[in-house]
């Protein structure tokens, strides 16, 4: 201060100003977005925010909210817990996200897990989950495996999922396992079928064949599912 008989200590949460580092004559409270220690002003770290003036620790006012990111140097410091919405489905922001959102890994999708209201489509996603069976995930979006395919593992990222449904089976949307879906007697399915087709009316189905040709009781006959109407629906 001008005319001070001796230097004065800077108050907590204040910083000193002056012509040079050795001729400081005034103190000022730390502005929002900053914290002050020993008379020096610092930006609140990335991932935190400073909502009030006079802050004196690097924790500032706390961590950035889930679903948002709070940048700092080289950008200006953040002053709000919800400084910037995370963005679209390709990114997510857990609590304390700093200068930029986190990219969603291929085979994962972005989600909102905390129950917060979403201001816009996929605007405040705060977590990423691995794609479940029966789905594939692209650009952070979970999509059902198409008809005629199946997805028997997690983390798929291509529309082909785990591959085509084998001949003799049917696979509707989001099929995880084709084995419980064999075509019934009197129907058939080629590779990549979503539904089984009914055998032509003029054909003789496996069901009637099995009724005509009986086997001994102790024997067990396992027939594969029909794959074409020529091979399985007609006899002889």
228 located within any domain: yes
pLDDT grade for 234, boundaries at 50, 70 and 90: low
166 located within any domain: yes
162 located within any domain: yes
Number of domains forming the structure of the chain: 1
pLDDT grade for 156, boundaries at 50, 70 and 90: very high
Q: Residue 225: which domain range? A: 145-204+221-235
pLDDT digits (tens, 9 = 90+) for 78-124: 999 999 999 999 999 999 999 999 999 999 999 988 544 344 456 89
| Of 15-19, 45-49, 55-59, 179-183, the least confident | 15-19
226 located within any domain: yes
C-alpha span between 52 and 129 (Å, rounded): 35
25 located within any domain: no
11 located within any domain: no
49 located within any domain: no
Q: Which residue is listed with tokens 């009914």?
A: 198
**Chain mean pLDDT for the chain:** 84
């Amino acid at each position: 201060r001008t005319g001070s008989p001796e230097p004065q200590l800077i108050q907590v949460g204040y910083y000193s100003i002056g012509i040079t580092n050795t001729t400081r004559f005034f103190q000022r409270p730390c502005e929002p977005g900053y914290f002050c220690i020993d008379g020096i002003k610092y930006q609140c770290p990335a991932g935190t925010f400073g909502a009030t003036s006079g802050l004196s620790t690097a924790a500032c006012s706390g961590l950035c909210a889930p679903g948002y990111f709070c940048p700092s140097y080289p950008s200006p410091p953040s002053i709000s817990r919800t400084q910037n919405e995370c963005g679209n489905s390709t990114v997510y922001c857990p609590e304390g996200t700093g200068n930029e959102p986190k990219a969603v890994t291929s085979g994962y999708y972005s989600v909102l897990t905390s129950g917060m209201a979403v201001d816009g489509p996929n605007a405040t996603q705060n977590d990423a989950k691995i794609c479940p069976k029966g789905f594939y995930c692209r650009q952070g979006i979970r999509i059902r495996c198409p008809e005629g395919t199946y997805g028997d593992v997690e983390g798929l990222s291509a529309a082909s999922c785990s591959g085509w449904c084998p001949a003799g089976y049917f696979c509707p949307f989001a099929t995880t396992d084709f084995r419980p879906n064999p075509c019934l007697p009197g129907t058939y399915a080629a590779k990549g079928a979503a539904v089984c087709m009914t055998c032509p009316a003029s054909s003789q189905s496996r069901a009637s064949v099995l009724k005509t040709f009986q086997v001994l009781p102790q024997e067990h006959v396992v027939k594969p599912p029909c794959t074409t109407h020529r091979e399985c629906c007609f006899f002889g």
